[in-house]
Amino acid sequence: MSSNAWLPLLVLGMPFAAFLLLAVVAPLRRSGPRAGLVSIGAMAIALAGALTVWVEGFVGETTWAWIPADGGPIATVGLLVDPLSNAMLVLVTLVSLLVQIYSLAYLGDERPASLGRYYTYQSLFAFSMLGLVLAPGFLQMFVFWELVGLCSYLLIGYWYERPAAARAAVKAFWITKLGDVGFIIGIVLLWSATGTFEFTDLFEKAQEHALAITGLPTIMFLIYLGAVGKSAQFPLHVWLPDAMEGPTPVSALIHAATMVTAGVYMVTRTEPLFALVPEVLTLIAWVGAFTALLAATMACVEGDIKRVLAYSTVSQLGYMMAAAGAGAAYAGFLHLLTHGLFKALLFLAAGAVIHAVGTNDIFRMGGLFRAMPQTGIVFVVGTLALAGVPPLAGFFSKEAVLGGVWEADLTGPFLMLALTALLTAFYMFRVVFVTFFGRAHAGGHPHEAPWLMRGPLWLLAALTVAVGVRLALVGAGGQEETPAWLAPLSIGLAAAGFALAWAMYQRGAIDPARVAAGLAPLDYLARRRYGLDALYTGLYRGFILAFSRLIGWIDRYLVDGVLNVLTALTLRAGDRLRRIQSGRAQDYVYGVAFGVLLLIVWAQLWRQ
């Protein structure tokens, strides 16, 4: 193994070792905070390794045969290290570490055994995500894809005694599973057409135009379906808002920065393949832009602070996918990185607020800036980044996305994304004004969060600013030149959104209720999430449960019925036959006589 390989292996292995340790050594796991320290320690080492890999700029691929065969292994496992995966390594390990440190304080009230369980899941998740990122081929990616989904289920349903949390976990699992079905079918079809799972082999074939297989658009569409599920694109976005039932640090980690970005990462990684099917790319762009707009409208009417952030995540994921669909995958990936930072920041800050106030409802908060100035400051920083205000990181990545979409002549998606930018600024500042400014509500003593929570917040805020400054100095480094009017346009949209929110919620100049009445149909639909949730629930209850009932009926009455009939027959036959044993010798003589008669008959026949 070359020196290039052992460092990524260390990064991958540390969380796995922590997971194994915590899973197997039950006393350690049940000791609560100590389990957390084990996990955090492993994560810190992994982060150090990831930073080294990224700074040194390692590139290379190391694989081991998984299913050996004569003409080379059918499936391999290994590590694929290049700038794309290196960046993800740093993002995943950094945000994981910060979230785990933050959780020590946020979940401080949990029972030690539960806390240990939480950190076991966290380590498993980190391992799964890293394995997905480092995958050299579709097969390993899919295995870790599923593992990540499992961890999401476990972490969303962490408070499993709560029925809402349990339901949300199952819903997340089901919906993403729908996408995964398409994903695996696509992978297998691709393999049957080309004979390989490995990315490097596939990209070579694509380069040599040796991938002109019929049905490639269909195959790539099926593979894209996996991203639709995992990255919450329309129509499989419904699980993400409900996933907020999990603890806030979990939302920050896997529903902002890492797991949901796996779909975007996959599309970015396999960009050479998608480039061969421009029609699918166009579809991806349209769906992405539409998702962004749809989620933004729903965020405008939402009152739960975490739900607002969830819809915001869906919206930003739409941005990333639209960029990938426009052929500007680099822009989308940049947005993924920056969004990971400031969305995690926003979630963790929201968690601090929730922890202090005890409720998620923004309309029960107010004037918190006085009580929690530090949290307020970092939240505003995150909001500015999300709204796309220079020189924070979000501005550059959003501009790159818009530029990429414009350059690809996708006017429809561009308009949708522009409108979404306006709405994004609007609803985020709406939250800021309602939560941190305005009249304070009586009840509760909101206070600053402990340092274990504030530390990660400040670090993320600093990174958001630093990355933004660096991008301003070095340039976003896109392939195309963005039009000159794009920067003023995006700043203008952000300013307009800010102004609108300020007028409605801070100044009270425009009454929100009248605006809602004016946009009544949209308001109605948005409040009911456009009926999609109800549709899914109806389908689930209608088909799947009915199917289960049918199977249950078949099992009870047909399968068991056959058995019951057989046993009843046996018992009854036994009862009847028992009468032969009358105990009377004369009856037995009858039997002997019959036997003799039979013998005679048989002998007669035999003679002939």
How far is it, in rounded angstroms, from Cα 425 to Cα 430? Answer: 8
Q: Three-class SS of residue 135?
A: coil
C-alpha dihedral, 241 to 254 to 177 to 82, nearest 10°: 140
d(CA 306, CA 248): 8
**Which amino acid appears at position 264 of this protein?**
V
Q: Which stretches of 301-450 are DSSP H helices?
A: 305-325, 329-357, 368-371, 373-387, 393-407, 411-436
- By CB under 8 A, is residue 582 in contact with another protein? yes
Judged by CB under 8 A, the stretch of 128-136, 437-445, 498-506, 582-590 that binds another protein is: 582-590
Q: Which is nearer to another protein, 539 or 599 (CB)?
A: 599
User: From the list 109, 509, 581, 605, which residue makes contact with another protein (rule: CB under 8 A)?
Assistant: 581
Q: Closest approach of Cβ 567 to another protein, in Å?
A: 20
Closest distance between another protein and the C-beta of residue 570, in Å? 16
Among residues 508, 268, 537, 315, which one has the least CA distance to residue 427? 315
- Partnered with residue 80 across adjacent β-strands are 61
Taking CB under 8 A as the binding criterion, the range among 254-262, 371-379, 510-518, 584-592 that sits at the site for another protein is: 584-592
* Between 547 and 602, CB nearer to another protein: 602
Does position 439 interact with another protein (CB under 8 A)? The reply is no
86 CB contacts (<8 Å, ≥6 apart)?
50, 53, 54, 57, 58
Among 26, 55, 517, 600, binds another protein (CB under 8 A): 600
Rounded to the nearest whole angstrom, what is the least distance from the CB of residue 584 to another protein in the complex? 5
* Cβ neighbours, 10 Å, residue 579: 8
The smaller minimum CB distance to another protein, of residues 546 and 597, is found at 597
Residue closer to another protein by CB (options 511, 587) is: 587
x/- map, 526-565, another protein, by CB under 8 A: ----------------------------------------
Cα(270)–Cα(460) distance, integer angstroms: 30
Amino acid letter for position 386: L
Rank residues 445 and 579 by Cβ distance to another protein and give the closer one: 579
Half-sphere exposure of 383 (CA within 13 A, CB side): 28
Contact 158/250 with Cβ under 8 angstroms? yes
Pick the piece of the chain touching another protein (CB under 8 A) from 148-156, 384-392, 433-441, 598-606. 598-606
| Range in contact with another protein (rule: CB under 8 A) among 97-105, 447-455, 517-525, 578-586 | 578-586
Amino acid at 253: L
Closer by beta carbon to another protein, 561 or else 595: 595
Task: Name the segment binding another protein (CB under 8 A); options: 256-264, 457-465, 485-493, 573-581.
Answer: 573-581
Question: Can you tell me the distance from the alpha carbon of 483 to that of 81, in angstroms, rounded to the nearest whole number?
Answer: 34
**What single-letter DSSP state applies at residue 364?**
G
**Residue 571 interacts with another protein (CB under 8 A)?**
no
Rg (CA), the chain: 30
In the bound state with another protein, the residue whose beta carbon lies nearer, of 554 and 601, is: 601
Tokens found for residue 172: 């997340």
Does 214 contact another protein by CB under 8 A? Answer: no
580 binds another protein (CB under 8 A): yes
| Choices 70-78, 82-90, 283-291, 576-584; region in contact with another protein by CB under 8 A | 576-584
Please give the DSSP secondary-structure letter assigned to residue 161. T
Of the candidates 209, 520, 578, 606, which one interacts with another protein according to CB under 8 A? 578
User: What would the two tokens of residue 351 be?
Assistant: 């968690």
534 or 589: CB nearest another protein: 589
Angle at 267 (CA atoms; ends 265, 268), nearest 5 degrees: 60
Candidate list 462, 551, 568, 589; residue touching another protein; CB under 8 A: 589
To another protein, the closest distance from the beta carbon of 585 in angstroms equals: 7
Told to check if 603 binds another protein by CB under 8 A, we report: yes
CB of 592 to another protein, least distance (A): 10
The number of angstroms, rounded, from the C-alpha of 271 to the middle of its chain's C-alpha atoms is 20
User: Residues interacting with another protein, by CB under 8 A?
Assistant: 578, 580-586, 589-590, 593-594, 596-597, 600-601, 603-604, 607
